[in-house]
Structure formats: C-alpha cells, structure tokens
C-alpha cells in the first residue's frame, strides 16, 4: 500500500497486464533496470507524471476458479 495511491490490484487480460488503482486503471509495460529491479510503466495517459515506489507484499498467485 502506498499512502498517496493506496493498493494496486494486478490482473491479466490476454497478454496485457493491468494495474487497477481504484480511481483509474492502466495497462502497464515492464522494464528491467541496471540494478536488477523491474519498473512498471503505465501506457495509458494520465493527468500528470508521478513515481510511486512499491514493494511486493505477497507472492503472485492465480485467483481461484
């Protein structure tokens, strides 16, 4: 959870990865950084450019069917 943005719900639609911030959602692209971390970049235009740093809070798992 980030104090300015809140939680992010991550989902897949076909090959697309979607970040849902509640107020808005966006498809994202990923980029591997020189230090080994991965950045996710929203590819749907927003109102302004911001950077929010998150840390994983739980391992990625598939939703139950």
Residue 3 has pLDDT above 90, yes or no: no
Q: In what order do the strands lie in the sheet with 38-42?
A: 9-13, 16-20, 25-32, 38-42
Tens-digit pLDDT profile for residues 12-65:
999 999 999 887 889 999 999 999 999 888 887 766 666 667 676 665 565 554
* Cα separations in angstroms, 3 against 12, 52, 62: 25, 10, 26
- Choose among 13, 39, 18: nearest CA to 28: 18
Cα gap 50→16, rounded to integer Å:
22
Domain residue ranges in the chain: 1-49
The reply to whether the predicted model has a pTM over 0.75 is no
The two three-digit tokens of residue 8, written as one number: 């992010």
Looking at per-residue confidence, does 10 or 65 come out higher?
Answer: 10
pLDDT (0 to 100) of residue 46 = 64
């Amino acid at each position: 959870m980030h104090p300015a943005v809140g939680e992010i719900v991550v989902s897949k639609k076909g090959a697309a990865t979607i970040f849902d911030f509640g107020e808005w959602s966006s498809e994202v692209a990923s980029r591997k950084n020189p230090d080994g971390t991965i950045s996710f970049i929203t590819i749907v235009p927003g109102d302004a450019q911001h950077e929010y740093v998150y840390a994983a809070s739980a391992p990625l798992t598939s939703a139950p069917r």
